[in-house]
Amino acid sequence: METAPLRAVDAVEVTIVLDTYVDVLIAGEEGVRRWPMPPDFFLKREYLLAEHGYAALVTVEEAATRSTILYDGGLSPDGLAHNLSILDVDPTGLRAIVISHSHGDHSGGLEGLFRRYGRLAMPLVIHPEAWRERRVVFPTGAEVLLPPPSKADLESEGLDVVEERGPTLMLDGRLLVSGQVDRVTPFETGFPIHQARAADGSWEPDPHILDDQNVVVHVRGTGLVVVSGCSHAGGVNVLRNAIARTGVDRVAGFVGGIHLTGGLFEDRTEPTVSAFRDLGVGRIVPGHCTGWAATHAFAREMPEAFVQPSVGTVLRWEAP
């Protein structure tokens, strides 16, 4: 695999804007800053929201310059804009938006962002298969529809939509959007009950969800920091792809979802945790669709690396 010329940076911060869990009393630690509850919290009753959706800010620092992208947009129409306001983040100052994959719990909140802040003139990077309509069909026959984002709607809001299957360098070469992740791990076999709309209007199996992509930053002397929305490609594949693409074999941190929740994925938990441990992941922050059992497995097997995710948390890695 050809490596991408990813430039190392002085530091990176990942802010969890939306996730499935929020705890305003949770303690911080070195490199982990929790949301500071304001003195009038119980008077204003304005607080961060959690939901079954994911969004994060990724900020790279180099030579006293900070540049930030938004990775994913959550599920609800108003959750993203609400939390950015509580966190005192002005989205008009973002450099770009990256969408991890087509599922609506990673892009639905962009609607409210445009409603509150108006047109946003910036690039939005997305895989070309992310426009496909998807659904999950359970063995009982029940189904859940997974509507994709609308390219026309995004462009009408001022975004420059960039479709790319392969890796993309952003922020002057300091941030890598993985593009399509190579599937090499034997036990990460995709989502077996996931389907996509075919060209003729019928439904066809779509277990691999090929539009799944993540973002990678290389912190000088520290290693790679990987942020992934759901890791439908498989969390281990995501890490191995990042290492292969960058030529950097040290993983300083992983933040985001590793789709291990539910009976279909339980047999992947042990080998996934084992592989993360073998790869020496310095800090693991497993949110969103990772699931209760897998999250606790990471905490049990990698206690020195595990960090409980919570909305509003800022995670920082910096050069020594």
Q: How many domains does the chain have?
A: 1
Evaluate whether residue 24 is within a structural domain: yes
The phi and psi torsions of 192 (rounded to 5 degrees) equal: -65, -25
Evaluate whether residue 3 is within a structural domain: no
Residue type, position 207, single letter: P
Distance CA 55, CA 284 (A): 17
Evaluate whether residue 113 is within a structural domain: yes
Evaluate whether residue 237 is within a structural domain: yes
Evaluate whether residue 48 is within a structural domain: yes
Evaluate whether residue 6 is within a structural domain: no
The one-digit pLDDT tens for each residue of the chain (320 residues) are 777 799 999 999 999 999 999 999 999 999 999 999 888 888 877 899 999 999 999 999 999 899 999 999 999 999 999 999 999 999 999 999 999 999 999 999 999 999 999 999 999 999 999 999 999 999 999 999 999 999 999 999 999 999 999 999 999 999 999 999 999 999 999 999 999 999 999 999 999 999 999 999 999 999 999 999 999 999 999 999 999 999 999 999 999 999 999 889 989 999 999 999 999 999 999 999 999 999 999 999 999 999 999 999 999 999 99
Distance CA 291, CA 304 (A): 20
CATH code of 148's domain: 3.60.15.10
Q: Which residue has the tokens 């800090």?
A: 283
**This model's pTM is above 0.85:** yes
Evaluate whether residue 84 is within a structural domain: yes
Distance CA 142, CA 127 (A): 28
Evaluate whether residue 4 is within a structural domain: no
Contact criterion met (CB below 8 Å) for 16 and 50: no
Contact criterion met (CB below 8 Å) for 291 and 52: no
Expressed as residue numbers, the domain containing 249 is 11-318
